[in-house]
């Protein structure tokens, strides 16, 4: 019983299940003489190329030493350098980074950018660290990954509880490591990390890119669903961090009605629509989404709201077989990574809920990271408007391609998206002769 429970909770098992489902749909598309190699490619993609692990020891402010476990999973680089974020969270695990690196491979392939997938993290609650301790831990992580990252090898970025400042510390440490080891750096070392502050080679638009990319997907989907009046489209958002906030703000700016948002503590609801900028300002000023006049509901009630669109924008496995049946939304746009378990996916399918998968919906972040990487390598920087003008068509076309595949193959949006992404990776593995 224990093993069954652990397997059910495994994010990597979730990712492998999805891959196997897609493989069944794709296999017959390959000629009989290529199917053995196809099977070998799927087997290879079921595990990362390598997973690095280390114990990082840093000196705390009181002079004591503390050890933190760190990971970097590099899933596949057939289509280009490994690419993926770094998260600081108490729930980081080897299993989690393996899953997230797998999803990053598909996410890069969905919009056609020339990357593979990776992901890293440290088991830590960064809220318990001082600014000095956080910097020392960030630099220790950069030292750990320095031998196996680089502009053409693996390009890390921010993720949960990391930001531009942390990337600045990491890229600075990476540059110092290179000087000390006297390694030749042909390309700009700033291109090793994306999500950096503007002054250190960051890109305009990066902060809002993931949330905004999701709204571009929403706009393209609205045309397919024949939603003519945005104000008639109600949206509930689980998670009001960077991604959830920017999705809410850009959706509201376009006239969509954001009726609920939540953080880890509470859920704010207003059927007439919320003003996301006012909500975030209140949270920054008072540490809470709500005041004494606000209507507060539970997370269970949030999932069960009768809305047009539900947006999970928190952590993985938020939608499970236990709660999927209560979801009344017509559409789910997954802005978190892996928010829906395979068992929940099947329930949503049976209930006619259209799910736009994470690897498509939240690909705006990695796509804009690609723009930052290109700008660093060329030493030429684009305006905010230029960045968004490049992001919008890529995101909308990715949705259109997935929709067309869904209609053609009579599968779910998730399967349609994965079919396109996995096939492009498998084809590259076959082309390179790696299987």
Catalytically annotated residues = 119
What is the three-class DSSP state of 333? strand
CA–CA distances in Å: residue 126 to residues 62, 86, 283: 17, 13, 19
Residue 391, C-beta contacts closer than 8 angstroms, at least 6 positions apart: 205, 209, 212, 213, 216, 364, 367, 368, 371
Enter the tokens of residue 239. Answer: 């998670």
**What DSSP element (H or E) covers 51?**
strand 50-59
Dihedral angle, C-alpha 82, 78, 392, 412, nearest 10 °: -110
Tell me the C-alpha to C-alpha distance, in Å, between residue 250 and each of 81, 281, 310.
31, 16, 15
Number of H helices, E strands in the chain: 15, 12
**DSSP state at residue 196:** -
Alpha helices in 46-183 (DSSP H): 94-111, 131-145, 164-181
3-state DSSP call for residue 332?
Answer: strand
**Gyration radius (Cα) of the chain, Å:** 21
Q: Which DSSP string do the residues of 210-255 spell out, in sequence order?
A: HHHHHHHHHHHHHHHHT---GGG-EEEEE--SHHHHHHHHHHHHTT
- The token pair at 59 is 């000196």
Distances in Å between the Cα of 274 and the Cα atoms of 216, 236, 244, 248, 421 are 20, 10, 13, 9, 36
Q: Supply the DSSP symbol for 33.
A: G
Angle at 30 between CA 27 and CA 31, to 5 degrees: 130
């Amino acid at each position: 019983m224990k093993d069954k429970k652990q397997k059910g909770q495994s994010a990597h098992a979730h990712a492998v299940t999805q891959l196997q489902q897609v493989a069944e749909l794709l296999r017959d598309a390959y000629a009989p003489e290529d199917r053995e190699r196809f099977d070998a490619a799927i087997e290879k993609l079921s595990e990362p190329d390598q997973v690095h692990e280390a114990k990082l020891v840093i000196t705390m402010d009181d002079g004591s030493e503390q050890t933190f476990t760190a990971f970097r999973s590099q899933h596949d680089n057939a289509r280009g350098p490994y690419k993926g974020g770094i998260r600081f969270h108490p729930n980081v695990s080897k299993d989690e980074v393996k899953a997230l690196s797998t999803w990053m491979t598909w996410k890069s392939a969905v919009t056609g950018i020339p990357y593979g997938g990776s992901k890293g993290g440290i088991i830590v609650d960064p809220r318990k660290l001082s600014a000095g301790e956080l910097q020392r831990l960030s630099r220790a992580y950069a030292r750990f990954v320095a031998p196996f990252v680089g502009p053409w090898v693996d390009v890390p970025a921010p993720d949960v509880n990391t930001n531009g400042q942390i990337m600045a510390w990491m890229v600075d440490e990476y540059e110092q490591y290179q000087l000390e080891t006297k390694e030749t750096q042909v390309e700009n070392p700033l291109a090793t990390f994306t999500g950096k502050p503007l002054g250190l080679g960051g890109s305009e638009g990066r902060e809002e890119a993931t949330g905004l990319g999701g709204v571009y997907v929403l706009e393209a989907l609205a045309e397919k669903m024949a939603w003519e009046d945005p104000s008639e489209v109600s949206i509930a958002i689980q998670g009001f961090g960077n991604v959830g906030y920017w999705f809410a703000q850009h959706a509201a700016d376009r006239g969509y009605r954001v009726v609920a948002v939540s953080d880890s503590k509470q859920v704010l609801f207003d059927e007439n629509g919320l003003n996301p900028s006012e909500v975030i300002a209140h949270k920054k000023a008072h540490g809470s989404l709500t005041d004494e006049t606000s209507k507060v509901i539970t997370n269970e009630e949030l999932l069960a709201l009768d809305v047009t669109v539900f947006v999970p924008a928190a952590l993985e496995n938020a939608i499970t077989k236990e709660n999927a049946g209560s979801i009344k939304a017509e559409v789910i746009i997954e802005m978190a990574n892996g928010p829906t378990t395979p068992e929940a996916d099947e329930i949503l399918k049976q209930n006619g809920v259209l799910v736009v998968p994470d690897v498509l919906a939240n690909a705006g972040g990695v796509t804009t990271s690609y723009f930052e990487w290109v700008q660093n390598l060329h030493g030429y920087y684009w305006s905010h408007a230029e960045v968004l003008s490049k992001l919008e068509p890529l995101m909308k076309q990715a949705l259109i391609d997935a929709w067309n595949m869904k209609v053609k193959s009579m599968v779910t949006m998730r399967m349609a998206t994965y079919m396109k992404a996995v096939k492009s990776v498998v084809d590259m593995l076959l082309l390179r002769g790696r299987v």
